[in-house]
């Protein structure tokens, strides 16, 4: 069972309420711009006639039903990696179920990298489009304030990223109540219009979507590129599963979010049928005049919450990628003593901030940003579907018929979404592609360079067994105390240990070589965390300890050693031990294993990686770094 299997015991209602803010913030704010964008594309190619309006509302409803309700809520949430979700976690889970060394083994992680790269594109665009779409509502009651949209957006975005260092709990306590109010308002606004024009309920029939596609295939195809905006944020259902558990997310979706979204989209359709000119801003025009300014304030709060969820997701994806070997060490700060998932990654935070602010001042409207939004979302959909089907076949033994029954409809629908958004490449769709290419290049370059550096380092280190035997015959000076050498494995000799013994002729009375492992699961159980090896001689005072961490865990070595001591696995006091790091200085060579530009990129990434002293939580006053140069 997953590590979050006990979540329902705490009561699913509080967890479901909390999930309304974190999980559903993005998809919950889609009504602000989705329908509006559909009717504003290509010089009103989508008309405000009953046929087009019913067709659009039907496409929106059935897109939400098929992609979110069926694909994600029913099926994808089953694919949990020790209770955690997200595209990188899914890729790691799928990789563990396929044959090592085969074509699928490499494919699943490449897909995971691409999915993560697209998620970063989503993380840059979501705060910009969400906040701007809310503030643009000011132009409805007060058209003269339209020029304040960008400055106000910049102030809100800046404040959002500045407070990240204090942790999501700073705004997290308001997530649930604000989003409960938000979804209630969505439902109330929609019900008012549906009561006035019950005929809009026809839009729930799939026949109107089919008729729209048959009668106006090109227009429907173009419209699909904007309809997909109604399901942005669906990936968050899966990515944030580890925080709340599967059941609370499912119940919150079916009992609250899905009905409220449906009512609001129906209401917008009814509004456009009654007042065709309202297609320019159907969401805010559904509200009476006195309520429009308060609605803008509420919408802004909701979009800040939606942005917070995406930013937090970017932190989690970054740490997962780093643990899996696709990013260099990152400085990660925990912002909560209770919730291990609440982290702050400064490098990711400020990179996202720069990207969001650049988009804000470049595109200057949510309508223009919407053209860039779809590709990141639809690309992630396709990758998630592919990874899930690979997992279902290899790990769960699904038959080919069952795979086709689920995969073909989803593939057709998501390929149409993707194709419709490809038509917008020159109008802004290039943006998420550019971000994804840059991020994927960084991740794949780091993974490849790390492999090559490891090979070079192993040549310098030499085997550990013969070195330990040599220590027994060499007259090295024993000094009191315990030395902990952090090293990558137990087969080769830590460079710091070799240099200390061969050049300084000094060895501590007790030597412990520690190897940290990133497991293929988010959290490692205490019984599986440690593995002790006396290296063949239990009396030579040189032992090896392997410590396994999940890709969601903090690699705190002194804390792990304290836990190993409590279990009687090692005899040392972490507070008194000295820690030795084997520093590798990477220099570019003339080898052709990697192009010169990728070598420069790798070296730059290595130089900017987090300090291992800080990364492993080592005491600075008792940490010594020694090493050698490696030519790449």
> What is the tens place of the pLDDT at every residue in 545-581?
999 988 667 889 999 999 999 998 888 888 889 999 9
Over residues 114-172, the pLDDT tens digits come to: 988 988 888 888 888 888 888 888 777 777 777 788 898 899 999 888 888 776 555 55
DSSP state at residue 397: -
pLDDT higher at 300 or 21:
300
Banded pLDDT at 317 (limits 50, 70, 90):
confident
CA dihedral over 29, 138, 189, 47, signed as positive or negative? negative
Q: What is the pLDDT of residue 42?
A: 60
Core vs surface per residue 29-64: b (16+ CB within 10 A) or e: bbbbbbbbbbbbbeeebbebebebbbbbbbbbbbbb
Backbone angles phi, psi at 351, to 5 degrees: -65, -45
Q: What is the pLDDT of residue 2?
A: 36
CB 517 within 8 Å of CB 544: no
Tokens of 131: 């906040």
Q: What is the pLDDT of residue 163?
A: 81
Q: What is the pLDDT of residue 285?
A: 92
Alpha-carbon distance of 139 to 143, in angstroms, equals 4
Q: What is the pLDDT of residue 8?
A: 40
Mean pLDDT across the stretch 515-543?
A: 81
Banded pLDDT at 6 (limits 50, 70, 90):
very low
Helix (H, G, I), strand (E, B) or coil at 546: strand
Over residues 373-391, the pLDDT tens digits come to: 778 888 889 999 999 999 9
Closest CA relative to residue 313, chosen from 242, 230, 372: 242
Helix (H, G, I), strand (E, B) or coil at 541: coil
Q: Could you tell me the pTM of the whole model?
A: 0.79
Over residues 230-285, the pLDDT tens digits come to: 998 888 778 777 667 788 889 899 999 999 999 999 999 999 999 999 998 899 99
pLDDT higher at 102 or 283:
283
CB 410 within 8 Å of CB 371: no
Mean pLDDT is highest, among 52-61, 318-327, 354-363, 561-570, for 52-61
**Does residue 193 have a pLDDT over 60?**
yes
CATH architecture of the domain formed by 15-428 = Up-down Bundle (1.20)
Mean pLDDT across the stretch 420-427?
A: 83
- CATH 1.20.1740.10 residue ranges in the chain? 15-428
CB 39 within 8 Å of CB 279: yes
CB 19 within 8 Å of CB 97: no
The residue with tokens 């720069």 is 354
Q: Which residues pair with 580 in a beta bridge?
A: 485, 624
Mean pLDDT across the stretch 313-342?
A: 75
Banded pLDDT at 520 (limits 50, 70, 90):
low
Tokens of 310: 């995406």
Q: What is the mean pLDDT of the chain?
A: 85
Banded pLDDT at 490 (limits 50, 70, 90):
confident
Banded pLDDT at 526 (limits 50, 70, 90):
confident
């Amino acid at each position: 069972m997953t590590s979050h299997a006990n979540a329902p015991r705490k009561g699913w209602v509080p967890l479901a309420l909390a999930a309304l803010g974190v999980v559903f913030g993005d998809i919950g704010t889609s009504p602000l711009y989705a329908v509006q964008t559909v009717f504003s594309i290509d010089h009103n190619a989508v008309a405000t006639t009953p046929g087009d309006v019913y067709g659009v509302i039907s496409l929106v409803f059935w897109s939400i039903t098929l992609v979110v309700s069926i694909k994600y809520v029913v099926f994808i949430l089953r694919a949990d990696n020790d209770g955690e979700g997200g595209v990188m976690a899914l890729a790691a889970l799928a990789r563990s179920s396929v044959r090592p060394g085969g074509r699928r083994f490499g494919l699943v992680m490449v897909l995971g990298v691409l999915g993560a790269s697209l998620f970063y594109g989503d993380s840059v665009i979501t705060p910009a489009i969400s906040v701007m779409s809310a503030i643009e509502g000011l132009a409805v009651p007060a058209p003269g304030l339209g020029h304040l949209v960008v400055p106000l957006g910049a102030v809100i975005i800046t404040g959002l990223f500045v407070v990240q260092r204090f942790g999501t709990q700073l705004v997290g306590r308001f997530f649930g109540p604000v989003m409960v109010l938000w979804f209630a308002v969505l439902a109330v606004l929609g019900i008012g219009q549906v009561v006035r024009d019950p005929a809009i309920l026809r839009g729930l029939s799939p026949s109107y979507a089919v008729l729209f596609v048959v009668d106006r295939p090109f227009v429907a195809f173009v419209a699909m590129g904007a309809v997909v905006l109604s399901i942005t944020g669906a990936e968050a259902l899966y990515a944030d599963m580890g925080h709340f558990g599967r059941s609370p997310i499912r119940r919150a979706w079916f009992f609250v979010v899905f009905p409220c979204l449906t009512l609001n989209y129906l209401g917008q359709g009814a509004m456009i049928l009654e007042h065709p000119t309202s297609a320019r801003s159907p969401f805010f025009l559904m509200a009476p005049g006195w309520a429009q300014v308060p609605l803008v304030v509420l919408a802004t709060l909701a979009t800040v919450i939606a942005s917070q969820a995406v930013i937090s997701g970017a932190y989690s994806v970054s740490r997962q990628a780093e643990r899996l070997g696709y990013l260099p060490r990152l400085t990660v700060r925990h912002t909560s003593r209770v919730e291990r998932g609440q982290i702050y990654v400064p490098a990711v935070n400020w990179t996202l901030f720069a990207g969001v602010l650049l988009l804000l001042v470049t595109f200057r409207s949510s309508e223009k940003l919407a053209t860039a939004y779809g590709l990141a979302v639809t690309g992630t959909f396709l990758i998630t579907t592919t990874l899930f089907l690979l997992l279902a076949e290899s790990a769960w033994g699904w038959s080919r018929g069952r795979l086709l029954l689920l995969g073909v409809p989803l593939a057709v629908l998501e390929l149409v979404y993707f194709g419709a958004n490809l038509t917008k490449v020159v109008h802004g769709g290039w943006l998420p592609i550019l971000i994804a290419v840059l991020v994927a290049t960084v991740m794949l370059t780091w993974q490849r360079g790390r492999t090559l550096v490891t090979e070079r380092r192993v040549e310098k280190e030499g085997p550990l067994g013969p070195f330990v035997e040599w220590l027994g015959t060499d007259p090295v000076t024993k000094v009191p105390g315990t030395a902990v050498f952090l090293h990558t494995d137990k087969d080769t000799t830590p460079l710091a240990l070799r240099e200390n013994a061969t050049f300084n002729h000094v060895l501590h009375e007790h030597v412990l070589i520690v190897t940290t492992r990133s497991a293929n699961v988010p959290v490692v159980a205490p019984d599986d965390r440690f593995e002790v090896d006396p290296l063949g001689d239990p009396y030579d005072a040189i032992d090896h300890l392997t410590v396994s961490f999940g890709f969601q865990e903090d690699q705190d070595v002194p804390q792990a050693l304290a836990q190993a001591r409590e279990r009687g696995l090692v005899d040392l006091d972490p507070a008194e031990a000295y820690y030795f790091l084997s520093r590798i200085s990477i220099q570019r060579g003339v080898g052709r294993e990697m192009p010169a530009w990728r070598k420069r990129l790798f070296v730059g990434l290595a130089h900017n990686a987090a300090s291992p002293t800080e990364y492993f939580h080592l005491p600075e006053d008792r940490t010594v770094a020694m090493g050698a140069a490696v030519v790449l």
